[in-house]
Amino acid sequence: MAKTFYIETFGCQMNVHDSEKVAGKLLSSGYRQVETADEADLVLYNTCSIREKAAQKVFTRLNEYKRARGAGKLFGVIGCVAQQEGEKIFEAAPHVSLVAGSASYSRFSDLLVQLESGNRRVTGLSLDTDATFETDFTHRDNPFRAYITIIEGCDKHCAYCVVPFTRGRERSRTSQNVLEEARKLADAGYSEIQLLGQNVNSYRDPSPAAVSFANLLGKVAEIPGIRRVRFTTSHPRDFTRDIVHAIESHPALCNQVHLPVQSGSTEVLRRMRRDYTREEYLERIRWMRESKRPISISTDIIVGFPGETEHDFEQTMDLLFEVGYHSIFSFQYSPRPNTESLAFEDTIPKEEKGRRLRILQERQRSMQIERNQRLVGTEQEVLIEGRNNREEDGRRQWKGRTVQNMVLNFTVPDELACGVAAGQYMHVRVTSAGPNSLVGVATRGDEACVSWPPSMMRPAPENVFHVLS
């Protein structure tokens, strides 16, 4: 009987996609994916170490599970905590037999062979990679929206960030290779592509074609069958005007940009080593505001960075008004191993960090309510993600996402209900709005919609995700 595996994922979309790659390797090595750790012979945790809390979760999870029902199973810790803690994990959690960082997934099959031959301390921790972007074995969890990594690693040196230590140096994939994968995905029925990278817009095509990031976006958006292209995460320093032009010229390129600011204070940005000032960041926002297509903007913010004064914080609060973000992901500063800011005195008490975060989130929340209210009465095209458990007017809701990446929960009148399914597009009139999502009623189906073959409607057991941003 085939061996079974269960994989649980913490962290960013890069990690979610890495889990798809690892799952693909396991499947091609004869393993079968199961939906609970209980059923699995091999339990994998794909981990995140961006903040201390995220990293600790791994050990809590490992110990809880091992104590409860772990007898006879093999455990592996992969991803950023694995890369960061390395072999120390074997000491902290002796029941773990595999520790591997993301740079070693291309040789995951070798690691499995070692595990199967009885080695109980298998490691894949080298950050030297030959930059192979293998895709043959990727086992995607979603039958209509696909991730494509275009750049791995990070060469920026933000003072607070572990990523350069957990994912290694920046390396881009050739444009031909990216486009080939995107075409294959379109042929297989995928209609949305999300291009991924820690700093996706730092992409540099290593091939002689030297396609720029903005041109690559345009080329992916032009592939027949691809209706939505998103990209994440952009670094403000490398955010160029031609990205805005690409969004204006390609309807399939979603008018939505995630542009982490981290702080509204130039002084804090300088100490964070972000390589831009508040004014330079706002200039990029202006480019987007001047665009012919309205672009929704989201961001990441850290409060309580060492030395952040009340005045610095006020500048971040003002920035919320100035930009009018569609959404924000905000965090209290967390000192991380190896980073430059670990040596800075963590001057701000935990309670004060908590207070700043609360105030920031409250302001953003009320701005989102106001902004979303303005969408009531508009018609939005959604890509249907699946069913909701909630009901509205006695009908079970569907969940969709708008072009600008908002969640829209909606009901479908009887006359439109025939054949509605995840992966299809529908037009929905917004009837009410909350801070984080919209509610609506479908008004019409989509002429260009294809019916999904039954095999595509049944994705294999899904990975469990805890996505960050």
Instruction: Write out the residues near ligand 5AD by the rule CB under 6 A.
Output: 50-51, 160-161, 260, 262, 300, 302, 331, 333-334, 336, 468-469
Of residues 236 and 440, the one with the C-beta less far from ligand 5AD? 236
| Interaction partner, residue 124 (ligand SF4, ligand 5AD, none; CB < 5-8 Å by kind) | none
Q: How far is the CB of 170 from ligand SF4 (least distance, A)?
A: 13
Peptide bond preceding 299: is omega within 30 degrees of 0, i.e. cis? Answer: no
Task: For residue 164, state whether it binds ligand SF4 (rule: CB under 6 A).
Answer: no
Of residues 9 and 175, the one with the C-beta less far from ligand SF4? 9
Task: For residue 163, state whether it binds ligand SF4 (rule: CB under 6 A).
Answer: yes
Of residues 331 and 410, the one with the C-beta less far from ligand 5AD? 331
User: String of b and e for 222-232 (b: at least 16 CB within 10 Å)?
Assistant: ebebbbbbbbb
Ranges of beta strands (E only) in 341-413 are 379-392, 395-402, 407-411
Neighbours of 308 (CB within 10 A): 25
| Interaction partner, residue 260 (ligand SF4, ligand 5AD, none; CB < 5-8 Å by kind) | ligand 5AD
| Interaction partner, residue 331 (ligand 5AD, ligand SF4, none; CB < 5-8 Å by kind) | ligand 5AD
Q: How far is the CB of 47 from ligand SF4 (least distance, A)?
A: 7
Cα–Cα distance measured from residue 447 to residue 469, given in angstroms and rounded to the nearest whole number: 33
Residue pair 345/153 in contact (Cβ under 8 Å)? The answer is: no
Contacts of 338 (CB under 8 A, 6+ apart): 84, 162, 165
Contacts of 351 (CB under 8 A, 6+ apart): none
Of residues 331 and 398, the one with the C-beta less far from ligand SF4? 331
Task: For residue 468, state whether it binds ligand SF4 (rule: CB under 6 A).
Answer: yes
The site map against ligand SF4 for 1-30 (x = CB under 6 A) is ----------xx-xx---------------
- AA identity, residue 207: S
C-alpha distances out from residue 96 to 58, 76, 78, 100, 124, Å: 12, 6, 11, 11, 14
Cα–Cα distance measured from residue 174 to residue 179, given in angstroms and rounded to the nearest whole number: 9
Of residues 52 and 314, the one with the C-beta less far from ligand 5AD? 52
The region of 159-167, 284-292, 320-328, 395-403 touching ligand SF4 under the rule CB under 6 A is: 159-167
Task: For residue 131, state whether it binds ligand SF4 (rule: CB under 6 A).
Answer: no
* Footprint of ligand SF4 on 80-109 (CB under 6 A): 80
Burial of 273 (0-12, 13-18, 19+ CB in 10 A): middle
Cα–Cα distance measured from residue 147 to residue 142, given in angstroms and rounded to the nearest whole number: 9
| Interaction partner, residue 48 (ligand SF4, ligand 5AD, none; CB < 5-8 Å by kind) | ligand SF4
Q: How far is the CB of 397 from ligand 5AD (least distance, A)?
A: 30
Interface positions with ligand SF4 (CB under 6 A): 11-12, 14-15, 48-50, 79-80, 162-163, 166-167, 468
